[in-house]
Amino acid sequence: MTIQHMSPASGFFKWAAARVHEAGRPPGRVVRRLPVQKDWPAWAILGIQVGVLIGIITLWQVGANLGVIDAFFWSKPSAIFNTLTIFFTTGEAWTDIGFTFRSTIMGFVIGTTAGSLLGLSFWWSRNYAAIVQPYIICFESLPKLALAPLVVLVFGIGLSSKIAIATALTVVVSTLTTYAGVKAIDPDGERLFYSLGATRLQVFRKLVVPSCLPWIISVLRVNIGLALTGAVVGEFIASQHGLGRAILYAGQTYDIALVWVAVSVLSALAMIMYVSVSWLERILRKGVRQ
Amino acid sequence: MASPKLRIDDVSMTFATPGGAFEALAHVTLSVPAGSFVSLIGSSGCGKSTIFNIVAGLQEPTDGRVMIDGIDATGTIGRVGYMLQKDLLLPWRTLIDNIILGMELQGVPLRQARDKALPLLRRYGLGGFEHAYPNALSGGMRQRAALLRTLLFDTDVILLDEPFGALDAQTKLQMQEWLLQLWSDFGKTVIFVTHDVEEAIFLSDEVHVMGTRPGRVVETLVVDLPRPRLRACTTTPAFMAMKERCLELLRVFQAAPVDQAA
C-alpha cells in the first residue's frame, strides 16, 4: 500500500487500519475507543434532581418518626413546615427578610462601587498605586469578620453596622479585580489613543473604563454572596432584626425547626439575589460586547 | 523642490539598559516630500518602530528634531496618523464608532463624524458592516477599518507600521492594491514600515534600507516605476534588480556581532 492509493478524506485512517491489520496489534500498545458521553434530556435531569430532594425529605421524615433520627437536634420536615407557616403568618418574617435584604444590597452596591472606583483610580498614577497596594493586600489577607464586633461597636446595632461589614467584605475583591483589569490593558491601545492626540481623561473614559468593565462585572456574583455573609454575621453579633438574628435566637432557644426555616428563607433570598445578579451580568456583558 | 512635508533631522535615540547604553537610532535623517509614499525596511531591531514612536510624539528622541511643514513637532502628539500592526479596534464599539475615534477625540460631534465616515466606509469595501462589532469581521476587514480610522483622523502624514504583517498572502496582495487606491484618492504622505521587500518596492516612491546596531539608514533606493502600478511590474527586470539590491543590503547590515547581542 502506497501513498498514491489513498483517498484524501479517509486516507490516513485506512492506511493506519491497514498497518494494524498487517502487523497485528503492535506490542505494548493498547487500542482504545474514544470515550463518548451521552447527554441525558433536560427533563430527565430535572426529574432526578426533584426525586433526590423528595427522597431526602421523605427519609428524614420517616427516620424521625421511627426514632432513627433524633428530632430534638435535627427536627423533622413536618415540624419545619408547620413552623414555616407560623413564621410567615404570625412572625416578623417580612421585617426580617426586608432587613437582611436591605443591608445585603446596600453593602453590595457600596462595596462594589467603591472598590471599582478605587481599582480604576490606580490607572492615574503608578506611584500612587505602588504606595497604596501593600495596604490593600494587607486588608485583603485580614479576616475581616474578626473585626465585626468592633464595627458593631462603632456603627451601633442598627442597619449601618451590617452594611459596613458587607461593604468591607466586598470592597477588597472589587478593588483587586478592577486593578488587575487596569494592569491588563494593552499598552498599544493607550499608544493608539495618544497618537490620536487624546487627553488622559479621554483615555480613561473611552479606553480604561470600558476595558475594565468585564472585570468589574465578573466580581458581581462573588460579591453578592460576600455581602450576604457580611450582613448575616453582623446580625449574629448584635441585631434586633434580620434572618441572621432569627437563626441565632432559634438556636439559643433550641427551636431547631425555626433554625431550618430561617436558613431556608435565607438560602431562597440568596438564590433570588444570585439569579438577579447573573441576569444583570448577562445584560451588562451584552452591553460591553465581551 | 519645495520644503519636505516631514523631515527627520539628525535624530538619535539612546536607551539606558542594565547592560549599559543601547543606541537604537544614530543620526537618522530623512526627508519625505508631500504626497509621496516612502518605505522603511530593515531587520528586526533596526529601530523602525522607534522612528515611528518619535515621529508620532510618543517618545522624545535623545537628540535631533522632527519637522512637519517646517515646524518643529518633536514630542507633540496628534500631528500624524499612526497605525500599528495590531488593528486595536475597540471590541465594545461598532465598526463606524471605531473608525470615528480620532475625530471623536478631537472633539468633532458624533453625528457629524459618522456622517463623514459612512460614505468612506461604503466606498472602501466595508459597506453593510457599519454597525457590526469587530469580532464579527475578518482580519483583512479589521485592517481596512484600522486604516480608515487613521485616514479619518485627517492628518497629512500617516505612519503605517507593518499593517499587513499578520495577514495571509492573498489578502495582503489585495490590501496593497486597496492601499494604493486610498493613497491616490486622499493624497496623503505615507511612511510605511515592512519586512517584505517586494511589498516595499511595489508600493513606494522611495525605499530606505536600515541597518542595525545602531539603527540607521544605510541606503535609499528611488523606485521610478510608473504609476498606477500593476501587479505585473513585480516581474520586470528593473523591479527584480531593486529587490536583489535590497536583499543584499539587508543581508550585509543585519549581521550583528554575536558578542554584542543582548
**Predicted confidence (pLDDT) per residue in B48-88, tens digit:** 888 888 888 888 888 888 888 878 878 888 888 888 888 89
SS (H, E, C) chain A: CCHHHCCCCCHHHHHHHHHHHHHCCCCCCCCCCCCCCCCCCHHHHHHHHHHHHHHHHHHHHHHHHHCCCCHHHHCCHHHHHHHHHHHHHCCCHHHHHHHHHHHHHHHHHHHHHHHHHHHHHCCCCHHHHHHHHHHHHHHHHCCHHHHHHHHHHHHCCCHHHHHHHHHHHHHHHHHHHHHHHHHCCCHHHHHHHHHCCCCHHHHHHHHHHHHHHHHHHHHHHHHHHHHHHHHHHHHHHCCCCCHHHHHHHHHHCCCHHHHHHHHHHHHHHHHHHHHHHHHHHHHHHHHHCC
Looking at chain A from residue 212 to 241, which residues have their Cβ under 8 Å from any Cβ of chain B?
213
Instruction: Please indicate if any CB of chain B lies within 8 Å of the CB of A197.
Output: yes
Chunked into runs of 10 residues, chain B (262 residues) has average pLDDT values of 75 83 83 87 81 87 84 82 87 89 88 87 83 86 88 86 85 87 86 88 86 80 80 82 85 60 41
Q: What is the distance in angstroms between the Cα of A126 and the nearest Cα belonging to chain B?
A: 18
Structure confidence at residue A203 (pLDDT): 93
Nearest chain B residue (CA) to A187: B88
Under 8 Å between Cβ of B80 and B8: no
Instruction: Give the range among A41-50, A231-240, B106-115, B213-222 with minimum mean pLDDT.
Output: B213-222
Under 8 Å between Cβ of A112 and A167: no
B103 within a domain of the structure (yes/no): no
Nearest chain A residue (CA) to B76: A197
Q: What is the distance in angstroms between the Cα of A286 and the nearest Cα belonging to chain B?
A: 9
B145 within a domain of the structure (yes/no): no
Q: How many Å apart are CA B42 and CA B253, to the nearest integer? A: 9
- Inter-chain CB proximity B80 and A195 less than 8 Å: yes
SS3 B67: strand
Structure confidence at residue A90 (pLDDT): 80
Is pLDDT at A15 greater than 80 in this prediction? Answer: no
Please state, in angstroms and as integers, the Cα–Cα distance from residue B253 to each residue in A225, B211, B216, B218, B249, following that order. 62, 5, 10, 8, 6
Q: How many Å apart are CA A95 and CA A82, to the nearest integer? A: 20
Residues in chain B within 8 Å Cβ distance of A209: none
Is pLDDT at A6 greater than 60 in this prediction? Answer: no
- Inter-chain CB proximity B105 and A206 less than 8 Å: yes
Is pLDDT at A65 greater than 60 in this prediction? Answer: yes
Helical (H) or strand (E) element with B112: helix B110-123
- Inter-chain CB proximity B105 and A198 less than 8 Å: yes
**Binning pLDDT at 50, 70 and 90, where does residue A1 land?**
very low
Nearest chain A residue (CA) to B100: A196
- Inter-chain CB proximity A289 and B135 less than 8 Å: yes
Interface of B with A (CB under 8 A): 53, 56-58, 77-82, 84, 86, 88, 90-92, 101-102, 104-106, 133, 135, 153
Instruction: Provide the CATH number for the domain formed by A92-288 in this structure.
Output: 1.10.3720.10
Under 8 Å between Cβ of B214 and B23: yes
Q: What is the distance in angstroms between the Cα of A194 and the nearest Cα belonging to chain B?
A: 7
pLDDT in tens, A170-227: 999 999 999 999 999 999 999 899 888 889 999 999 999 999 988 998 899 899 999 9
pLDDT in tens, B136-146: 888 888 888 88
Q: Give me the residue spans of the domains in chain A.
A: 45-84, 92-288
B35 within a domain of the structure (yes/no): yes
Structure confidence at residue A11 (pLDDT): 53
Q: How many Å apart are CA A61 and CA A59, to the nearest integer? A: 6
Instruction: Please indicate if any CB of chain B lies within 8 Å of the CB of A205.
Output: no
Contacts of A160 (CB under 8 A, 6+ apart): none
B238 within a domain of the structure (yes/no): yes
Residues in chain B within 8 Å Cβ distance of A198: 78, 105
CATH number, residue B51: 3.40.50.300
- Inter-chain CB proximity A192 and B84 less than 8 Å: yes
pLDDT in tens, A106-151: 999 999 999 999 999 999 998 999 999 899 889 888 888 888 889 9
Instruction: Please indicate if any CB of chain B lies within 8 Å of the CB of A288.
Output: yes
B12 within a domain of the structure (yes/no): yes
Structure confidence at residue A19 (pLDDT): 56
Residues in chain B within 8 Å Cβ distance of A210: 90, 92
Q: What percent of chain A has pLDDT over 90?
A: 58
Residue bearing cell 455573609: A229
Nearest neighbour of A197 by CB, restricted to B78, B92, B135: B78
B110 within a domain of the structure (yes/no): no
Edge-to-edge, what's the strand order for the sheet holding B20-32?
Answer: B20-32, B6-17, B63-68, B71-72
In the predicted model, what is the mean pLDDT of chain A? 87
Q: For residue B220, what are the β-bridge partners?
A: B208
Q: What is the mean pLDDT of residues A48-66?
A: 95
Q: How many Å apart are CA A69 and CA A52, to the nearest integer? A: 19
- Inter-chain CB proximity A197 and B106 less than 8 Å: yes
Contacts of A111 (CB under 8 A, 6+ apart): A166, A167, A168, A169, A170, A171, A174, A223, A226, A227
- Inter-chain CB proximity A195 and B101 less than 8 Å: no
Is pLDDT at A9 greater than 70 in this prediction? Answer: no
Structure confidence at residue A117 (pLDDT): 95
Q: What is the distance in angstroms between the Cα of A120 and the nearest Cα belonging to chain B?
A: 18
Q: What is the mean pLDDT of residues A27-56?
A: 92
Structure confidence at residue B256 (pLDDT): 52
B38 within a domain of the structure (yes/no): yes
Structure confidence at residue A57 (pLDDT): 94
If phi > 0 it is left, if psi is from -120 to 50 it is alpha, else beta; for residue A96 that is alpha
**Binning pLDDT at 50, 70 and 90, where does residue A289 land?**
low
How many domains are there within chain B?
1
B128 within a domain of the structure (yes/no): no
Exposure string for A149-168, b = 16+ CB within 10 A, e = fewer: eebbeebebebbbbbbbbbb
Structure confidence at residue A20 (pLDDT): 54
Cα distance from N-terminal residue to C-terminal residue, chain A = 51
Q: How many Å apart are CA A152 and CA A234, to the nearest integer? A: 7
Boundaries of domain holding B55: 1-80+157-164+191-262
What predicted TM-score, i.e. pTM, was given to this entire model? 0.79
Nearest chain A residue (CA) to B56: A195
Q: Cis link prior to B228 (omega < 30° from 0)?
A: yes
